[in-house]
Amino acid sequence: MLGAYLAFIPFVVTLTAILKFKMKTHKAGLLGTAITWFIAIFYSKTSVWLLAAAWVYGILVPLSYTLAGFAAWYMTYHMMFHGCFDHIQEGIKRMKGGLVFKTFFLCFGMGVMMLSSGAGFTWLAVVLNDMGISPWAVSILIEGSADPLTQYAYYATPVVVPTLLYGEMFGFTLADLMPMFNRFFWVTIPGFALAMLWVLKEDGHKVSRRDATIVVVYGLLLAGVVNILNLTVDIMAVGILAGAAGMAMLYGAQKIGLFSTSEDLSQQYEPMTESQSGNFKKAIAPLVIVSILAGLWGSFGKPIERMLGVIQIPIIADQTVPFKVMQPAVWPIVTILLMFTFLKPSKKSHSYTMKFIKERWVITQIANWMFAGMVFSYFWSGKVIIDGALVLPAANEHLNLMQSLANFATGWGLHPYIVMVPFMSMFATTLLGSELTSTTFFTPFHFAASKLLGFTQPAALMVGHVVANIGITDIRKLMKNVALIGAYGEEYKALRKTFVIGLIITAATIIPLLSFLWWP
């Protein structure tokens, strides 16, 4: 029991530092890691060198995400320099259709596709605000709409990386996980579609019963599309193709008059001139290119990717970090090179782009690296190296912080534990800063708990944890979006609403989780 209490201390201190004392995220992460090390050294008797290796391991685990993220951010800021998003905004303003259709087309269609392909989509905040949507609602709409497919965003790292890390250890593959994900989407996607409509209504916009019916049907149809894609194409292509399918379904519904046409703002603008149309096509080209490249590779490139294989980066003893030879960063990089042929690079554009990279991307990476020291310090605490292998001796099990937490969490039995899984996910995503870190931390935790409880579908708990990561939007995302449209300080309004949505959606994931008890 002492181990469990000690294991909670870094979490409590870190969360208190961020929420009460408003400490910068990277500093809070460093504080949490320092406390974890102190406990691991003096309670778990863990070697300092092993903890240092655990920190390095935690930094290298999301390396694919780091590389892909850098390429995507560079592409986005280069497009900003050339005014691409201003041209895109002008085109979208002239799109025919009511506010509900436009919001769903932009957020629940284009947003899903772009987020999944690695293209930035925060610029949508400006477009939605120009359409008369309040800052607090803007932030929830652009983040919440894409989040039902968040595990496919950023190149599927919250699913792929834990599978590479723990798949062989615990005996599961991506093919085992995909049918499990399908069960959750029937709940989460229609749920979020209805939640986004509620946000528009709360913001004072007219929403009809017909709109409510249409978006629920749309959510169910999209869930069906995702179910098929999950079983037929590579995970990297699912979000891209689902977003494209979503836009097609929404556009078709609008054309045949299924959506209400209230608040149609397109009549306020003159049709595009030939020059404006050319600028619009040039501006949107990089987003189309990266989506097509990533989508085609995800659909047809799996045999080549499998042939190229995975490189294992040695860290300490028998611990290695898997690194795929075919990196998802390839497609943003290729897109950047193609983009340079019509959005010409220059010394000025490079300086502009790198300025934003340094100001916004670098600090997020530092924060992630600080938190990386916590994740594997928990997992490796109490372990020793024997005959070149990192092992947890039976005599040290009570010293392992991860095992201590699992013992504590399973004390109430299997059913209460399953009910707690989505809320563990909400907690971990908020504290540890990302879906990837949250899932990486809790995957071995859920497998350890399943062993103690005799649950035969531990991978289902991991899948439920990933899906529940969508439940609430991180406060930093809310701040980023409201700041972009000059409304910094209003994020507390968004947090109140997204907490309600998150709580309901997260609770709803308990239903498919419990279904694994009687329908494996």
Tell me the pLDDT of the chain averaged across its residues.
Answer: 83
* 190-192-193-199 Cα dihedral, nearest 10 degrees: 150
Please tell me the total count of domains within the chain.
1
User: Given pLDDT bands bounded at 50, 70 and 90, which one contains residue 19?
Assistant: low
> Looking at the predicted structure, is the pLDDT value of residue 324 above 90?
no
Mean pLDDT of 292-309: 85
449 assigned to some structural domain = yes
Instruction: Determine the longest span between alpha carbons in the chain, in angstroms.
Output: 76
Mean pLDDT of 153-162: 69
210 assigned to some structural domain = yes
Q: Is the separation of the CB atoms in 417 and 409 below 8 Å?
A: yes
Mean pLDDT of 5-32: 82
Question: Which carries the bigger pLDDT value, residue 309 or residue 62?
Answer: 309
Burial of 23 (0-12, 13-18, 19+ CB in 10 A): middle
> Looking at the predicted structure, is the pLDDT value of residue 380 above 70?
yes
pLDDT value for 196: 85
Among 31-40, 62-71, 296-305, 474-483, name the most confident range: 31-40
476 assigned to some structural domain = yes
Mean pLDDT of 133-162: 68
Mean pLDDT of 144-161: 61
3-state DSSP assignment of residue 196: helix
Mean pLDDT of 173-192: 89
Among 196-200, 270-274, 410-414, 497-501, name the most confident range: 410-414
Q: Which domain holds residue 290?
A: 2-515
pLDDT value for 497: 64
> Looking at the predicted structure, is the pLDDT value of residue 479 above 60?
no
520 assigned to some structural domain = no
248 assigned to some structural domain = yes
pLDDT value for 245: 92
User: Given pLDDT bands bounded at 50, 70 and 90, which one contains residue 502?
Assistant: low
Question: Which carries the bigger pLDDT value, residue 366 or residue 411?
Answer: 411
Tell me how many degrees the CA angle 103-104-106 measures, rounded to the nearest 5.
Answer: 65
> Looking at the predicted structure, is the pLDDT value of residue 400 above 70?
yes
Question: Which carries the bigger pLDDT value, residue 486 or residue 272?
Answer: 272
pLDDT value for 273: 86
Lowest-confidence range among 64-78, 154-168, 193-207, 506-520?
154-168
Among 236-245, 322-331, 407-416, 476-485, name the most confident range: 407-416
Helix, strand, coil in percent for the chain, rounding step 5: 75, 5, 20
In Å, how far are 57, 390, 507 from 387, measured between CA atoms? 20, 9, 46
The tens digit of pLDDT for each residue in 85-114 reads 888 878 877 877 788 888 898 888 888 887
Among 113-127, 241-255, 292-306, name the most confident range: 241-255
